[in-house]
């Protein structure tokens, strides 16, 4: 269905090697089933997020319930599609997932002169901090643990040379105005 719609499609039948292959290939979008041999698709989703995969992930399942769909979305899935589905529905949802990042192209770019550059993930965390999000909210939105968010925040404060989180936000707002 997706190939006929003009998408380049790669398939992987081994869920355990899928995460590493996805990180190396950096796909534009991932279609991931919840029910897989040896491991849950939700576990694979968690691995993708923890390794910094930035591709939108669409979860699919024929054995789903509301709790599974909610868990997938909370863990970072872009969309959840129940089987059976029509080919045209799949194509339109993949297209929407691919268009979403383009719509977010106004992403904040932080530049702190004479300081080490922030990684993309650090920039994501900083943007959330500026938006007033709590550590727990940031963790949920970015598919991270709260402890990891705290670690990123500490690294950002160190890299930027801020004295505390409030000073960090002030410096980040100044950096955005440049």
pTM for this model (two decimals): 0.57
Whether 60 and 81 have beta carbons less than 8 Å apart is answered as: yes
Q: 89 and 26 share a domain?
A: yes
19 and 99 belong to one structural domain: yes
Cβ neighbourhood burial of 59 (10 Å; 0-12, 13-18, 19+)? buried
Domain shared by 127 and 78, yes or no: no
Domain membership of residue 124 (yes or no) is: yes
pLDDT digits (tens, 9 = 90+) for 35-94: 988 889 999 998 888 787 878 899 999 877 778 887 887 778 888 888 888 888 889 888
CATH number assigned to the domain comprising residue 71 = 3.40.50.2300
Classify residue 40: in a domain, yes or no. yes
Query: What total of structural domains would you count in the chain?
Result: 2
φ, ψ dihedrals at 8, nearest 5°: -85, 125
The enclosing domain of 126 has a CATH number of: 1.10.10.10
Residues 62 and 129 in one domain: no
Q: What is the pLDDT of residues 154-168, one digit of tens each?
A: 999 999 999 998 899
Regarding whether 73 and 26 lie in a shared domain, the answer is: yes
Q: What single-letter DSSP state applies at residue 89?
A: H
Residue 101's pLDDT band, with cuts at 50, 70 and 90, is low
Q: What is the pLDDT of residues 126-142, one digit of tens each?
A: 988 988 889 998 888 87
Same domain? 130 vs 99: no
Q: How far apart are CA 96 and CA 147, in angstroms?
A: 32
What is residue 100's predicted lDDT score, i.e. its pLDDT?
67
- Together in a domain, 95 and 148: no
In the predicted structure, residue 105 carries a pLDDT above the cut 50: no
Domain span at 29: 15-103
Residues 25 and 94 in one domain: yes
Residue 111 falls within a domain, yes or no?
no
In a domain, 173, yes or no: yes
Residues 24 and 94 in one domain: yes
In a domain, 4, yes or no: no
pLDDT at 25 over 60: yes
């Amino acid at each position: 269905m997706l190939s006929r719609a003009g998408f380049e499609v790669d398939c992987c039948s081994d869920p355990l090697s899928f995460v590493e292959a996805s990180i190396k290939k950096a796909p534009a979008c991932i279609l991931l089933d919840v029910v897989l041999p040896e491991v849950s698709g939700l576990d694979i989703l968690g691995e993708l997020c923890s390794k910094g995969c930035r591709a939108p992930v669409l979860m699919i399942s024929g054995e789903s319930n509301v709790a599974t769909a909610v868990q997938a979305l909370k863990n970072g899935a872009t969309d959840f599609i129940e089987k059976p589905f029509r080919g045209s529905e799949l194509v339109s949802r993949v297209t929407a997932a691919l268009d979403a990042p383009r719509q977010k192209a106004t992403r904040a770019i932080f530049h702190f002169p004479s300081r080490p550059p922030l990684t993309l993930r650090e920039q994501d965390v900083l943007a959330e901090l500026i938006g007033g999000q709590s550590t727990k909210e940031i963790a949920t939105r970015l598919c991270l643990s709260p402890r990891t968010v705290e670690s990123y925040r500490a690294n950002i404060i160190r890299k930027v040379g801020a004295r505390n989180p409030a000073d960090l936000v002030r410096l980040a707002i100044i950096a955005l105005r440049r």
